């Protein structure tokens, strides 16, 4: 490619529901040839497909098109919509539409692009690519641009990985969003208010191909999205999506992720400006096995003293294998450094309770932070029943009280839905 030509197509009339866009474009005599790429604004696609709906309340229309709220500031919402796009207001457009109506994005923009492409082939006998475009704001950048939300017959991504640059250096991460670049080029000649909803790019015939995956390939998967949520939403998501995970994969746990979670844990509130938390990280398989074997022996001894049968004991021990199956263990401990002694049983008991509550707050921070790192966890109380054993095996000071153990790892299965809980059932207002 040595030269590109981009121009807007004049003569496209006002589009109404049921109009054949390919015929309208062909009638405007755009002079298309094989290898051209036609850029079509999503607004006219939506109008032709009857996506103009009554909506006295635009917010309700946005709610109906929203799958997930990504970030919110005042009335502005960045959401994931039904098409999988993350954008402001779910793409619901109230501009240039009759009062009391809004325009929704096409239901399937890739299918819309394919319909226009096939129609132009039938009408003009040309093999072209088609890109459906929409206006888009971008994180970290001011200003709007057009992006591709639908495509047909266009290579939307150009993967340069495995090649080399001009200096012979290997390209290991370069994947070019060709369809988005085309959409931005078309916007320069269409304009936002020029009444020119269609543009043509010529000179990039190598990007036109019959079988392509469509613009959905441009949408980053949730697993690969490092910026999936806004700040407050990320916190809320981590809290509400945290689950007790009892089955883990063999994938190793990043020790750095656990330490970041500990850093979050020690920001919890505590009495008297103290720091009552300590976290023992069991990173070696040998340390985990040694601790769990000793705890198992202590548990079995307790059960025998309780008169349990050997069969019953074996079943209980098997049910306790969540810690043994985890690739990483953490033992949170309580220390009473800085606590007050009153010489009064009631007040001394309340003092310890304050420190226990603070430790629980720290562990909750820890669990939520692990969820933010995409790690599963299970907080199990078992170390509290054999604290002397745990201290002895791990070589901990006598004033460190183990407060359970946290199994950490990558979840083996997706967490199940949490049973619905009605907030009013947990609230008393006075």
| Structure confidence at residue 172 (pLDDT) | 73
Name the average pLDDT for the chain.
Answer: 90
- pLDDT in the model for residue 100: 84
Contact 152, 108 (CB under 8 A): no
Res. 231: pLDDT tops 80: no
pLDDT at 194 over 90: no
- Looking at beta carbons, which pairs linking 53-61 to residues 24 or more positions away fall under 8 Å? 53/101, 53/102, 53/103, 53/104, 54/100, 54/101, 55/92, 55/100, 55/101, 55/102, 56/100, 58/89, 58/92, 58/94, 58/102, 61/92, 61/102, 61/104
Average pLDDT score over residue span 76-88: 90
Q: How confident is the model at residue 320 (pLDDT cuts 50, 70, 90)?
A: low
Q: Residue 273's pLDDT is what? A: 93
Question: Percentage of the chain with pLDDT > 90?
Answer: 68
DSSP string, 83-120: TS-EEEGGG-B-TTS-TTEEEPPPS-HHHHHHHHHHHH
Domains delineated in the chain:
5-51+106-224 (3.30.1330.100), 240-426 (3.40.109.10)
In the prediction, which pLDDT does 430 show? Answer: 94
Other CB atoms within 10 Å distance of the CB of residue 78: 19
Helix, strand or coil, per DSSP, at residue 305: helix
pLDDT of residue 417: 79
Q: What are the tens digits of pLDDT across the range 209-220?
A: 877 779 999 998
Q: Which of 41-45, 54-58, 175-179 has the lowest mean pLDDT?
A: 54-58
The pLDDT assigned to 58 comes to 84
Whether 230 has a pLDDT exceeding 70, the answer reads: yes
């Amino acid at each position: 490619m040595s030269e590109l030509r981009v121009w807007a197509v004049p003569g496209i009339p006002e589009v109404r529901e049921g109009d054949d866009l390919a015929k309208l474009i062909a009638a405007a005599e755009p002079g298309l040839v094989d290898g051209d790429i036609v850029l079509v604004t999503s607004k006219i696609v939506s109008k032709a497909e009857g996506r103009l709906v009554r909506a006295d309340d635009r917010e309700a229309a946005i709610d109906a098109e929203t799958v997930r709220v990504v970030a919110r500031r005042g009335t502005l919402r960045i959401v994931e919509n039904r098409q999988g796009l993350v954008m402001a207001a779910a793409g619901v457009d109230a501009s240039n539409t009759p009062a009391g109506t809004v325009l929704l994005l096409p239901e399937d923009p890739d299918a819309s692009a394919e319909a226009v492409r096939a129609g132009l082939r039938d009408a003009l006998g040309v093999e072209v690519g088609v890109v459906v475009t929409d206006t888009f704001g971008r994180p970290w950048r001011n200003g709007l641009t057009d992006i591709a939300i639908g495509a047909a017959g266009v290579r939307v991504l150009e993967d340069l990985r495995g090649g080399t640059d001009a200096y012979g250096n290997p390209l290991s991460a370069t994947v070019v969003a060709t369809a988005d670049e085309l959409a931005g080029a078309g916007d320069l000649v269409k304009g936002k208010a020029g009444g020119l909803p269609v543009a043509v790019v010529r000179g990039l015939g190598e990007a036109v191909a019959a079988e392509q995956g469509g613009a959905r390939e441009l949408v980053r998967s949730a697993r690969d999205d490092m910026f999936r949520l806004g700040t407050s939403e990320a916190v809320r998501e981590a809290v509400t999506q945290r689950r007790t995970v009892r089955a883990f994969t063999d994938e190793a746990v990043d020790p750095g992720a656990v330490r970041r979670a500990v850093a979050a844990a020690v920001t919890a509130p505590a009495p008297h400006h103290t720091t009552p938390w300590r976290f023992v990280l069991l990173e070696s398989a040998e340390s985990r096995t040694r601790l769990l074997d000793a705890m198992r022996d202590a548990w079995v001894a307790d059960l025998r003293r309780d008169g349990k049968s050997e069969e019953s004991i074996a079943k209980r021990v098997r049910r306790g294998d969540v810690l043994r199956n985890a690739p990483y263990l953490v033992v949170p401990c309580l220390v009473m450094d800085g606590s007050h002694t009153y010489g009064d049983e009631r007040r001394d008991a309340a003092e310890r309770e304050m420190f226990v509550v603070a430790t629980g707050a720290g562990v909750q921070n820890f669990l939520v932070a692990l969820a933010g790192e995409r790690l599963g966890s299970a907080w199990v109380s078992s170390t509290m029943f054999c604290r002397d054993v745990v201290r002895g095996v791990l070589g901990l000071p006598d004033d460190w009280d183990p407060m359970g153990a946290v199994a950490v790892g990558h979840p083996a299965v997706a967490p199940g839905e949490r049973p619905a809980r009605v907030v009013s059932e947990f609230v008393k207002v006075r």
